[in-house]
Amino acid sequence: MSEVVQGSDQTLRPLGLGEVLDRAVTLCVKNFVPLALIFIIYAIPYAVVQHLATRDFAQLLATFQGAITAQSGKAGGADPAALGHALSSGSINGWYPLLIVLVFFVGPLPAAALIQACAAAYFKRPTTLASAYRVALGRWLPLIGINVLYLGAGLILYVLVVLLAIAIILGLVFLTAALHAVGVALAVLIGAAVVLAGVAFFVVAALAIQISYFTCVLEGAGTIVAFAQGLRRVFFGVGLARSLLVGVAFFAIGIGIGLVALLGQSIIVGLSHSTVAGTIYATIVRIATAAFTTAFIAIFYYDLRVREDGLDLELAADAARGAIVPVTT
């Protein structure tokens, strides 16, 4: 159990989506500096490795673009052989494995520290970089285990989805051939429904990973328990409806931030002709995004705990008895 608060349950109650967003923004703005300092320790080496890993790829794209430009002015258009030579001139360097290690194995450490800091800030408890990482170190290995479980589940799900997609495509082809125009209309409707269902599942599954992380860090749960609790809390009961609503908002916010980051980085690189400047901008955006998204999921996590586990009532009862109320149980 990583944080305690005395009688501070007044912030816990069921929240609407607007309130979740409002509290997340407030929490992030008021505590941005400590949250940013926690994440910047990871963000800077990640940015350096990412820049080195993608440097050759950027050069490859530039070479390919140059070949297209040069060939397009010639009669007959671009020469496939010249384009193939431009592609073969680039190579993927050895920094990619290190980038994967940073994301999969090191990434859970700053994520856990941010989770701890956001939970403490939400209950108006002081936190420091050292205390946040001290808790994070204790949960680091279980979080890596959660990554492994979700990766394994994702691979199994991928195989099942491919098989299901093949079956659906064959069924739609048969339906179209049998019913002609009506079959085409039904095929379009069924296809659209399948795509929407897939997007909804992806959104909820992404939240399940986050909730598993929060469960592991804030409740001290082990890998398997946190994995199971994350799935249970978002896929069953009231959590499913809430996860769909919050997940769509979270997904839309993520797309907006991603577009702004991509556009800004493109403009900076175009004006400065420096990929380093673009990397610095992207790192700043990544730090701000990590602080906000962690705050957002923290509010959502406690909202789920209130709705599904009656956490607000539990803390109020403990506070009425004058007990030290655990935030994380």
Dist CA 38 CA 137 (whole Å): 13
Look over the chain and give the mean of its residue pLDDT values, rounded to a whole number. 81
Residue 278 structural domain? 4-149+238-326
| Length of the chain (residues) | 329
Residue 187 to residues 61, 70, 179, 181, Cα–Cα distance (Å): 38, 44, 10, 10
The answer, yes or no, to whether residue 10 has pLDDT greater than 80, is no
Dist CA 118 CA 295 (whole Å): 6
Which position has the higher pLDDT, 209 or 174? 209
CA torsion, ordered 65, 67, 68, 69, to nearest 10 deg: 90
Query: Would 194 be classed as within a structural domain?
Result: no
Give 3-state DSSP helix, strand, coil % of the chain, rounded to 5: 85, 0, 15
**DSSP H stretches of helix in 89-222:** 95-101, 108-122, 129-179, 181-219
Query: Would 75 be classed as within a structural domain?
Result: yes
- DSSP annotation of 6 reads S
Query: Would 224 be classed as within a structural domain?
Result: no
Strand-strand pairing, 325-326 and 4-5: antiparallel
Segment 238-279, tens digit of pLDDT: 778 888 888 888 888 888 888 888 888 888 878 887 778 888
Dist CA 291 CA 60 (whole Å): 33
User: Look-up: residue for tokens 């800077």?
Assistant: 44
pLDDT number for residue 82? 52
> Which phi and psi angles does 326 have, rounded to 5°?
-75, 130
Query: Would 140 be classed as within a structural domain?
Result: yes
Query: Would 233 be classed as within a structural domain?
Result: no
Query: Would 201 be classed as within a structural domain?
Result: no
Dist CA 136 CA 140 (whole Å): 6
The answer, yes or no, to whether residue 219 has pLDDT greater than 70, is yes
Query: Would 242 be classed as within a structural domain?
Result: yes
Segment 45-96, tens digit of pLDDT: 998 888 887 766 555 555 555 555 555 555 454 455 555 554 555 455 677 7
Q: Considering its fold, how many domains does the chain have in total?
A: 1
Query: Would 187 be classed as within a structural domain?
Result: no
> Which phi and psi angles does 5 have, rounded to 5°?
-145, 145
Q: Tokens representing 194?
A: 């399948």
